[in-house]
Amino acid sequence: MVRRVVILIACVVLAGVAIIAVRVTSDRFESDGDTPTVVTAPPSTAVVTPDRSDEAAVNYGWRLTDSDDFDGRRVDTSKWEVYQGFNTVSGETLSKDQCVVRGGVLTLVGNGDDTAATCGIAWHDDRTYGRWEVRARFPAPADHDFNPVLLLWPESDTNADGEIDFAEIYDPARQFVESWLHGKGNTDAGHTRKDPFDITGWHNYAVEWQPDHVTCYIDGVAWATYGMPGTIPDQPMHLVIQQNHNRHKPQPPLRSTAEVDRVRLYE
């Protein structure tokens, strides 16, 4: 499995180091199709409203602190950093031109040519603990080598401080979704796969990161919770939305997209 690839500018040494660490980690965390590891702990304890919503934030009374509805003509760079550059280690090209905003939707476009250029954006502000909810869909058909992911990535730019992948896609048919928790020291702290599940339609993907647990939600319902003592990241993190290109074949990939309707940040 492949973790988040950090590419800011190809010549930045620290980014290259982070990418190498991520790539090494990916080999250790490759899914083998066995029964997923799920470490349970109590999710949010707030009272669920009588009329259940498809948003975790509504069900649990989370307090909104920031948001983005992608209602402009391009990614709002006052909120997001847009990845730009080529990295010789990963072979990925990330370009702002692949991050298309139109009609209130951000589309992450993976090119179907030799460049396989793709899109990645990172929220500027870091925080320790909180809640995030992203409304997204992942159209099919897609190429096996394009892997969209919604994650929390550490301010230190190294997953030695942990990493929370609350929706990661490896199925070209887009019929299942996975989550991973990287604990402190980049340890494997849990993995869950929701299968079968049609992710070609719009769904709300949320994550609650607290000192004693991490809980992932889809459409307001918890589906993965991690809480093994000593594994929960405790350093500042920020939201990342990207479509990785993990090359497994010499020929150009099939053009593939991921779409995001809105992003919400909560206390």
41-68 tens-digit pLDDT: 445 544 444 578 999 999 999 999 999 9
Please check the confidence at residue 31 and state whether its pLDDT lies above 70. no
pLDDT tens figures, 163-202: 999 999 999 999 999 999 999 999 999 999 999 999 999 9
pLDDT confidence of residue 216: 98
Domain-located, residue 1: no
Domain-located, residue 3: no
pLDDT confidence of residue 13: 33
Model confidence at 6, pLDDT cuts 50, 70, 90, reads very low
Which CATH number goes with the domain that contains 28? 2.60.120.200
pTM for this model (two decimals): 0.84
Tell me what the mean pLDDT of segment 151-168 comes to.
96
Domain-located, residue 6: no
Nearest residue to 66 (alpha-carbon basis) of 224, 265, 267: 265
> Among 29-33, 128-132, 237-241, 252-256, which stretch is predicted with the lowest mean pLDDT?
29-33
Domain-located, residue 117: yes
Domain-located, residue 8: no
Nearest residue to 147 (alpha-carbon basis) of 224, 20, 258, 19: 258
> Among 10-24, 57-71, 93-107, which stretch is predicted with the lowest mean pLDDT?
10-24
Residue 221's domain comprises 13-266
| Helix (H) or strand (E) run with residue 38 in it | none
pLDDT tens figures, 207-260: 999 999 999 999 999 999 999 999 999 999 999 999 999 998 889 999 999 999
Please check the confidence at residue 25 and state whether its pLDDT lies above 70. no
| Helix (H) or strand (E) run with residue 24 in it | helix 13-28
Number of domains in the chain: 1
Domain-located, residue 2: no
Percent of the chain surpassing pLDDT 90: 76
Please check the confidence at residue 27 and state whether its pLDDT lies above 70. no
Domain-located, residue 46: yes
Domain-located, residue 171: yes
